[in-house]
Amino acid sequence: MNDKSVTSDDVRWLDEQQQWAWRRFLDGTSRFFESLGDVHDAELPVTLGEYHLLVQLSEAPGRTLRMSALAEYLVLSRSRLTHTVDRMERRGLVERRPAPGDRRGVNCVMTDAGFAALVASAPGHVTAVRRFLVDVLDDEEMAMLGRAMAKVASAARGEQELAGHE
C-alpha cells in the first residue's frame, strides 16, 4: 500500500485466525530459509543465494542472462546482485560479459566451474528441501502451498510495479 496517510481507523485488522496464520507463515518461512541456508553453509560448495543464481543461469539459453533480468528473477537489487556476482566471479563460478549489440548491457554467464558447483550442490539442496518442506507436507498441502504462494508473489509483484521498482 503506497498511501502514507492511512490511519489506524482505516486498517482492516487481522482477526485471530488470520493473525495466527500470519505468525506461522513468518515463523515457518524464517526457520525454513535459515535451516536451508545452514545446510548450504555447512555442507555445500555454494550458499543458498549462489545456488539460486546458478539455477537461474543453468535454465537460461547458453547459461547466460542479462544482469537486470537476473536481478528480477532473484528479487534482488542490482547492487546486491553485483556484490554476489563479484564474489562468485572471484571464485570462477560466473563471468560478466558485454551484452552483444548493447554497449551498456552486461550478461552474467555460468562457467564450467559454476555448473560443476551446481551439480555438486543439487543432491544436498534437494535433500534439505525435502526434509524441511516437501516431506513435512502431504500432497494436497504442497499443492495448496504452491497455489497460495503464486498468488502472494503475483500480488507483491504488482505492488512493486506500481511503485516503480524494476
Question: Residue 62: which CATH number?
Answer: 1.10.10.10
Question: Cβ-count burial of 82 within 10 angstroms (0-12 exposed, 13-18 middle, 19+ buried)?
Answer: middle
87 located within any domain = yes
Q: Which 3 state secondary structure label does DSSP give 151?
A: helix
Kindly indicate the confidence band of residue 5, based on its pLDDT and cuts at 50, 70 and 90: confident
Distance CA 29, CA 46 (A): 21
Range of the domain at 112: 43-122
Does the pLDDT of residue 1 top 70, yes or no?
Answer: no
**Residue 73, C-alpha cell as written in the block:** 528473477
Phi (first) and psi of residue 116, to 5 degrees: -65, -40
Distance CA 52, CA 154 (A): 20
What is the structure's pLDDT at 71?
94
Q: What is the pLDDT of residues 24-33, one digit of tens each?
A: 999 999 999 9
What is the structure's pLDDT at 103?
83
What is the structure's pLDDT at 166?
46
Q: What is the CA radius of gyration of the chain?
A: 19
104 located within any domain = yes
80 located within any domain = yes
